[in-house]
Amino acid sequence: MLLLGPSGGGKSSLLLAIAGLHERSTGAEQEGVLRVEGEAGILFQDPEAQIVMGRAGDDVALGLEEHCVPTAEIGARVDAALRAVAFPYGPERRTDELSGGEKQRLALASVLALRPQVLLLDEPTADLDADGAAHLYAALERLSRETTVVLVEHRIADALRLVDRVIAIDGARGVIADGPPDTIFRSASRELERAGFWLPDARVARSRATHVGAPLVEARDASFRYPGARAAALAPTTVELREGEALAILGGNGAGKSTLLQLLGGLLAPSSGSVDASPLDRREPAPARWPARALPSRIGLAFQDPEHQFIARRAIDDVLVGTAGDAAARARAAGLLERLGLAHLRDADPHTLSGGEKRRLGLAGILVAQPRALMLDEPTYGQDLATFREIVTLLDEERVKGTAIAFATHEPALVEAVADRTLLLERAA
């Protein structure tokens, strides 16, 4: 079953309820009856939220131990689950040293290993590369013969091969469509599109061509190795980013996309080679040596996991963190929240937002400081068609202003809609 709904429309809340995880959360109100036959296993939208152990194999084994699987069987089931998601490392790999997609693969392995009767998957391919997604769908096709699968996905074209039934929900309105995919997308497609749902053949218009200006940030043979790591996370890379240009950084999970964005954004200093942003600071070309408070108005970086950048208790305060908090900044912040469909959440705790809302809040917090260059790590995951289009429009306006944009993504629709140029990274040997 494919569960569709706009960003913030209640999809993850429904999955959590089916998994029996709401009762324990404080202050939540529930009405009605929920009956679940059998045991449900759930993959959270944010894979990091369910990885608890220090080593990958232990993380998969934990659930099996809790289910009293005989010790002699556990090793084989851990290995099989890691293979099923094509986890690129052995069971000893440290879980705090994984890329976003590698974390998603590991969290999936932990759920699959349990062989639940009901499998609840919240955007399981959001951080996966094309290979990883194909792998997952092959595994689901095998499983779905005996397992009930509930899938939340925005990239629905691939999911449709697997699905017998589609249910569309929309917040307070509840279920707005329920039936086999052919029927739903034939009879209800107009209404769904108006409500902002992705449809199998949705197109996002290519944005306007802009004037590309002078280089702003340049990496020259820049490589990076995390402290203590055996292999480099990023092989020596040379790339230049110009004013008004949008560069898509592509590559498989673990190829070094997030690492490169953090080098270009001044959060990491290269292990060899250099990063030069001298047009933004004549005296100090290396962004990693700038004082932290100088960064937001020069180069904005939106993390792959937006939670990593939230520090305030209210959404609006979080957006204002990188600004002087003056009247102009407050007006820009309010405008961004409005355009990104977050105005009603201005006083909410950022951590209580839906996955797609967190993503947009993270973007607002970067754009508000009006940086000359934007580094965006997976800027559109969790977005419905309407919010995706709004993000594309915002990025387009930035390019017209001359902002340089680099973004990492696994979404072909985003590359098609905004990229002037692509850079394909390959995992360092």
Ligand X SMILES: Nc1ncnc2c1ncn2[C@@H]1O[C@H](COP(=O)(O)OP(=O)(O)OP(=O)(O)O)[C@@H](O)[C@H]1O
What is the binding site for ligand X (CB under 6 A)? 97-102, 127, 129, 226, 229, 233, 251, 253-259, 304, 408
Residue 256, contacted partner among ligand X, Mg ion, none, CB below 5-8 A by kind: ligand X
Nearest CB to ligand X, comparing residues 5 and 252: 252
Burial 355-392 (b: 16+ CB within 10 A, else e): bbbbbbbbbbbbbbbbbbbbbbbbbbbbbbbbbbbbbb
Provide, rounded to whole angstroms, the least separation between the CB of residue 254 and ligand X: 4
Nearest CB to Mg ion, comparing residues 226 and 290: 226
Provide, rounded to whole angstroms, the least separation between the CB of residue 232 and ligand X: 8
Provide, rounded to whole angstroms, the least separation between the CB of residue 257 and Mg ion: 5
Helices H / strands E in the chain, number of each: 14, 14
Question: Nearest residue to Mg ion, using CB?
Answer: 258
Q: Is 184 helix (H, G, I), strand (E, B) or coil?
A: helix
* Dihedrals phi, psi of 404, to nearest 5 degrees: -90, 135
Nearest CB to ligand X, comparing residues 243 and 378: 378
Using the rule CB under 5 A, is 262 a contact of Mg ion?
no
Nearest CB to ligand X, comparing residues 112 and 233: 233
Nearest CB to ligand X, comparing residues 121 and 188: 121
Nearest CB to ligand X, comparing residues 254 and 382: 254
Place of tokens 């069987």: 73
Residue 207, contacted partner among ligand X, Mg ion, none, CB below 5-8 A by kind: none
Reference 401, options 373, 379, 361, 362; nearest CA is 373
Q: Which of residues 303-342 bind Mg ion (CB under 5 A)?
A: 304
Using the rule CB under 5 A, is 244 a contact of Mg ion?
no
Nearest CB to Mg ion, comparing residues 257 and 298: 257
Residue 123, contacted partner among Mg ion, ligand X, none, CB below 5-8 A by kind: none
Binding string, residues 74-113; x marks residues near Mg ion by CB under 5 A: -------------------------xx-------------
- Rounded Cα distance between 203 and 69, Å, is 47
Residue 98, contacted partner among Mg ion, ligand X, none, CB below 5-8 A by kind: ligand X
Q: What is the DSSP code string of 324-381? A: ---HHHHHHHHHHHHHTT-GGGTTS-GGGS-HHHHHHHHHHHHHTT--SEEEEESTTT
Provide, rounded to whole angstroms, the least separation between the CB of residue 265 and ligand X: 12
Return the H-helix or E-strand segment holding 110. Answer: helix 100-113
Burial 130-140 (b: 16+ CB within 10 A, else e): eebbebbbebb
Strands 40-43, 2-4: pairing kind: unpaired
- DSSP state, residue 96: G
In Å, how far from its chain's centre is CA 239? 24
Amino acid residing at 8: G
Number of residues that bind Mg ion (CB under 5 A): 5
From the list 29-37, 65-73, 190-198, 298-306, the region that binds Mg ion by CB under 5 A is 298-306
Reference 298, options 275, 315, 314; nearest CA is 275
Using the rule CB under 5 A, is 253 a contact of Mg ion?
no
Residue ranges in contact with Mg ion by CB under 5 A: 99-100, 257-258, 304
